Amino acid sequence: MFKKFVQSLENGKFITLETTPKHSATFEPIIKTIKELELYKHIDGFSVTDSPLAKMKYSSLFAALKLQSTFNKPSIATISMRDRNKIGLQSSLLGANEFNIRAILALTGDSASMSDQPNVKGVFEGNSTLLLEIIKCFNAGIDYAGRNLEIQPKTIYPFAVSNAYAKNPKTLQKKLREKLERGVIGIITQPIYSIENAKNLLEIFEKAKIEANNNKATLIIGFFPIIKLKTAQFLTSHVPGITVPKSWSEKLYEAKQKSSIEEEKIGFELSKKTFDELLSFHPKIHLMTANNFRLGKKILT
């Protein structure tokens, strides 16, 4: 399973689909929707978020297990530094490893102050690079304290995330280098909405790879379809590291004046055209739809 996954990442067309577990005791409705839409036929693997915005959700590791077991496709399970100390991180990785959950997206995590749970405190013993260091140790057969593991884990495939752009490219290059130095095989960007943005980021990424002496890692372009003006405005105003072209907002504004149906029509046309252009330019894409899987199916086909 993972051999083909990594080969596609390095050498072929590679598309992953993000899933977000709900505030629920079951992940089954998401599994059912993906089955009904036959989305699994159009992707190389899944990813699973880990309680984004510090809102409590179903476990990313168990969701990844259900996706892999059902569709026989790898799932990248996100693990946030917010919720676990070094003991919990290593314990989770060991348990997941036995069940073949071995693609791990290392994330620092959103602030606990955003949580929907009372009096929550973030752990944050380090940022995402600490988890990457732990994975690097596990792949060498030792724990983070340097002790030999009784039985060595199966290979873990580490992933990380990156902003889509930065006012200071050198700062972004440094952050990419730090993650690449810790052996990531893929870095997923925040959503990108233009070929120019993708080209600039790829140039920075290639420089970081040389500095980190990591020639195998791949940049994976994040993409989030925008079909409403308020989404474009929110991403532009509230999410650092993402830039939505001004022309998108202008076209969506004009369409919204006519009707919500026209707004969604124009938004989909812009999104589909850009997705196809990005896929032709750099066929490594991570599709995010906030669980709007029907929209995802239309984008992919």
pLDDT in tens, 115-152: 999 999 999 999 999 999 999 999 999 999 999 999 99
pLDDT on residue 65: 98
Whether residue 253 is contained in a domain is answered as: no
pLDDT on residue 227: 96
**Averaged confidence pLDDT in the chain:** 95
Whether residue 270 is contained in a domain is answered as: no
User: Which residues are within 8 A (CB) of 301 and not within 5 positions of it... i.e. 6 or more apart?
Assistant: 42
pTM of the entire structure?
0.95
Whether residue 237 is contained in a domain is answered as: no
Whether residue 104 is contained in a domain is answered as: yes
pLDDT on residue 178: 95
Give the integer Cα–Cα distance in Å for 296 and 288: 8
pLDDT on residue 74: 97
Q: Which amino acid is at 101?
A: I
Give the integer Cα–Cα distance in Å for 301 and 296: 9
For 245, phi and psi rounded to 5 degrees? -55, 140
Task: Say how many domains are in the chain.
Answer: 1
The answer to whether 125 and 85 have CB atoms below 8 angstroms apart is yes
For 218, phi and psi rounded to 5 degrees? -125, 140
pLDDT on residue 19: 98
Give the integer Cα–Cα distance in Å for 112 and 146: 30
Series of mean pLDDT values for 10-residue runs along the chain (301 residues): 92 96 98 98 97 95 98 97 96 97 96 92 94 97 97 97 89 95 96 95 96 95 96 87 90 96 97 97 97 97 93
Domain that holds residue 291: 2-227+283-296
Whether residue 273 is contained in a domain is answered as: no
Q: Position of tokens 């059902």?
A: 70
pLDDT on residue 165: 83
pLDDT on residue 166: 80
Whether residue 23 is contained in a domain is answered as: yes
| Contacts of range 168-177, beta carbons closer than 8 Å, 24 or more positions apart | 169/200, 169/204, 172/201, 172/204, 173/204, 173/207, 173/208, 173/211, 174/208, 176/204, 176/205, 176/208, 176/212, 177/208, 177/211, 177/212
The answer to whether 96 and 61 have CB atoms below 8 angstroms apart is yes
CATH of residue 165's domain is 3.20.20.220
Whether residue 62 is contained in a domain is answered as: yes
pLDDT on residue 18: 98
